[in-house]
Amino acid sequence: MDHVISGVAKFQREVFPNKRAVFKKLANEQNPEVLFITCADSRIDPCLVTQTEPGELFICRNAGNVIPPHTEHTGGMTASIEFAVAALGVSHIVLCGHTDCGAMKGAIDPDSLDSMPHVKQWLGYCWGAVDKVRQKCGELNHEHMEEVTRENVLLQLEHLRSHPSVAAGLKEGNIKLHGWVYNIGTGAVECYDEQKQAFVPMKQAYAKQNSQTPAKK
């Protein structure tokens, strides 16, 4: 904990003064373009991976980058998504999974979560992805992690589309969804290509999409 406390002191002493104008502008408003949804895993730093500055990403994190399908029940993810879209007017939503995800390990082997009932119940939102891979591959183990991770990103995107604010934004053409998988060990990012129905390297995925990017509201 000491290095966390000393880090705050370093930020106040060395970093904040050099960005004083940025923080002055952000003190009373935010206008992020991107809602970035990813895992709570300590190895994932969205701003580091995307090289973005404060105010550019509205970030939501939880175990397994899960988005529960929309219901009348109010939860943290539901409220955050609604706020990002309806109040902040984000024009892009990134759903980012990652390699070596503990949540995906738990989803593959739910019996290992018996001592963590809340985690087990939460990862029920991922079991559709596990079942899809199981139908193709049979009995699963940790060798199937990458495939389950990709399928989970696609499943959570489907859940995301069920949220009214997102559905309206998609219908109006004001929002674009992005499915990513970040490789912790290599730094690579794979992105889902709708036309190819596959995850491809980021450079390849966005080579033809840049001209189609919706403008920020």
- Give the whole-angstrom CA distance, residue 113 versus residue 137: 23
Q: Which helix (H) or strand (E) holds 95?
A: strand 92-98
- Residues making up the annotated binding site are 39, 41, 98, 101
- Give the whole-angstrom CA distance, residue 190 versus residue 205: 8
What is the residue type of 43? R
Q: Which helix (H) or strand (E) holds 107?
A: helix 102-108
- Residues making up the annotated binding site for Zn(2+) are 39, 41, 98, 101
Q: Where are the alpha helices (DSSP H) in 142-197?
A: 145-161, 164-172
Q: Side by side, which strands form the sheet with 176-182?
A: 57-62, 34-39, 92-98, 176-182, 189-193, 198-201
Q: Between β-strands 189-193 and 176-182, what pairing exists: parallel, antiparallel or unpaired?
A: antiparallel
Q: Which of 60, 153, 152, 41 is closest to 102 using CA atoms? A: 41
